[in-house]
Chain A
């Protein structure tokens, strides 16, 4: 009566080749030009940050007071006599005082320094492991090249922007990771079990959401002891951002799970004897993935902005750690900014990062759910 169902004349089973989930997502993602652009921007920023040593011709943390606030080097191909050189070169900036006793930066056109590629320079380590002296570009001594100028202490702003990308991007990714982990797990559990736990959790979410974010961030950031080492501060800051941003995801996932909880496939799973854990993580969670990905790509830029803002105010990351926000602190005084406009250059990277992640999220939102026909 309960014998196994057997088939006669058994043939070889050859399951057809089938596209994996990521292939399906990729195929749909590829169609969105905006998303590809966003992805490339993010990728470029990540490469600049990870290999910042390679992209900065000068040590971005070494002080060099004599060249403080040097304007960005101009890249020339022709000299003042209109003579064309086949390769780019730079002049050095020198300060002159005009008849009204104003200081001016003027290019010293007597000597030109050709821009060389793949030059040897200061020593750094690839990925913190392999020592190297190779840099993408540079000029012969005693010439200097600062493509985005220098800051107050004479450090190359472009090199520092690349280096700062490490903290800014890593912190937003790390914070988002915590935020998504906490938010999605609590959201799924809250939506699945409902009842009292759900009620308490949702009131707690409302409690957190009703705080004015900025003062709370400031208060939390101010609590971090200044004596902590850099890594501890980094983790503490990421956690602060994460703990205030998980609520959005938790709410959304909860709503989705509540709608799914009563569907037949969950009932079918229970009917075949699946445990709650299996239902939550095998059946419900994967179905919220597209939501999670979208919220993820929205949380990253919000943390980048929040970090920049706090660091700008001086209560986030502290020197010698450098983030885009820390670099902006020098732009706080109107006077400094008025004379040295190039010190706001890190805004460019913040802008690109935020736009890049938003574009990426837009594309992923459409691509992450390949199982529906649109």
Chain B
């Protein structure tokens, strides 16, 4: 084993609350706790998959890390290319601007994330203009390079987004993200708006780019089967909190949290003849405005006991590099992929 790579990004106890305003005077009547105490780190050249159901705060977490929202609390330590880690949670937008070259995002919806009034050249080249990197001829060459890198014909750079298909548009979005040669990319469900056949293409593209460019990525998805191939480690989120974080194999084959077990069981096996039992979760995802007491997962957990209703578990390292937030992580025998059915 090579020595562990350096940590590029470390998030400590990140909180993002959105106020709920009601009534004639728009008083704050409470908070939507979209992200509530999130802690994890990402190493250089590593892909961290961030999974969870819709509404669990994955996207908010990604946007908060990039300071598209101002965090309510917590720290975001980022290590720039040449320097000491800095806490970007408290930087002003102006101080943030040079860091935006290094930290970029891929957006979920390729239809709304491209300005319909701008040509592909203008869209892909915009970061270069904003950060004063290239103009004119040089810009055009760089855009052509990027378009080729993502598998688009550079001759189409004068076209408008509406002339492209969903998959092509997502490639445009990826080219825009790559234009500044970023060190960290937060990919916010980059394939969930695409057809399944196109999903594979875009995933393969991201995989190739990751290998060639040594990208560090936080890959957000609601589907474990999408992230399992691309991720080195997987973090599972539930209602604003991390429930499990470990290497991809560990999460898939030896899950330690009941929620992860349910997610893993939803991955269909490649062999259609195999007996496939999904664990169905009862009920709905609780509202982040009014989360349940104790462990947020307890109303839907098959193994919940009295203690779960009262005390909220913390994220503890049950094995090296395997973090779980469950009171019974050490006791439960949970089923991973291909595991025996627990009667």
Contacts and interface: CB of A to CB of B under 8 A. Distances in A.
Interface of A: 1-7, 13-18, 263-265, 267-274, 278, 283, 286-287, 289, 371-373
17 contacts: A1-B183, A4-B181, A6-B145, A13-B140, A14-B155, A15-B156, A16-B158, A18-B159, A264-B112, A264-B113, A265-B113, A265-B114, A265-B115, A267-B68, A271-B68, A273-B101, A372-B116
A287 B145 contact: no
B273 to A, nearest CB: 42
Contacts of A6: 145
Interface stretch (B16-24, B146-154, B236-244, B286-294): B146-154
* CB-based closest 5 A-B pairs: A264-B113, A18-B158, A273-B100, A13-B144, A272-B127
A372 B107 contact: no
B149 A7 contact: yes
A274 B155 contact: no
B243 to A, nearest CB: 27
Contacts of A15: 121, 140, 154-158
Nearest to B154: A13
Contact of B126 (A16, A267, A272): A272
A274 B126 CA distance: 9
A3 B157 contact: no
B112 A265 contact: yes
A1 B121 CA distance: 25
A272 B104 contact: yes
A371 B117 contact: yes
Interface in B108-162: 108-109, 112-119, 121, 126-127, 130-131, 140-141, 144-146, 148-149, 154-160, 162
B113 A268 contact: yes
Nearest to B157: A15
B62 to A, nearest CB: 10
B45 A1 contact: yes
Contacts of B45: 1
Contacts of A270: 68
B118 to A, nearest CB: 8
A257 to B, nearest CB: 13
Most buried by B among A2, A5, A263: A5
Given A16-B156, A264-B113, 12 more contacts: A2-B181, A3-B213, A5-B146, A16-B159, A265-B112, A268-B107, A269-B126, A273-B100, A283-B115, A371-B117, A372-B162, A373-B162
Most buried by B among A2, A7, A265: A265
Interface in B322-339: none
A264 B106 CA distance: 10
Given A6-B145, A18-B119, A263 B112 contact: yes
B117 A1 contact: no
Contacts of A271: 66, 68, 100, 104-105
Nearest to A274: B130
Contact of B127 (A263, A273, A289): A273
Contact of A7 (B148, B173, B176, B214): B148
A5 B178 contact: yes
B107 A264 contact: yes
Q: Is the interface of A mostly helix, strand, loop or mixed?
A: loop
A273 B176 contact: no
Contacts of A13: 140-141, 144, 154-155, 157
B44 A1 contact: yes
B57 to A, nearest CB: 17
B117 A287 contact: yes
Contacts of B130: 272-274, 278
B128 to A, nearest CB: 10
A263 B157 CA distance: 23
A371 B66 contact: no
B197 interface: no
A287 B176 contact: no
Contacts of B280: none
A253 to B, nearest CB: 15
B81 interface: yes
Contacts of B127: 272-273
A12 B323 CA distance: 52
B97 interface: yes
Nearest to B120: A15
A272 B145 contact: no
A273 B97 contact: yes
Contact of A371 (B126, B131, B158, B162): B162
A2 B101 CA distance: 11
Contact of B160 (A3, A5, A269, A371): A371
A274 B116 CA distance: 17
Contacts of A2: 81, 102, 181-183, 213
Contacts of B213: 1-3, 5
Nearest to A278: B130
A287 B116 contact: yes
Contacts of A18: 119, 158-159
A23 to B, nearest CB: 12
Contact of B116 (A14, A272, A273, A371): A371
A272 B112 contact: no
Given A16-B158, A269-B126, A3 B181 contact: yes
Most buried by A among B119, B154, B182: B154
A58 B159 CA distance: 55
Contacts of B180: 272
Contacts of B149: 5, 7
A270 B68 CA distance: 7
A5 B213 CA distance: 7
Contacts of B117: 283, 286-287, 289, 371
Interface string B179-195: 01111000000000000
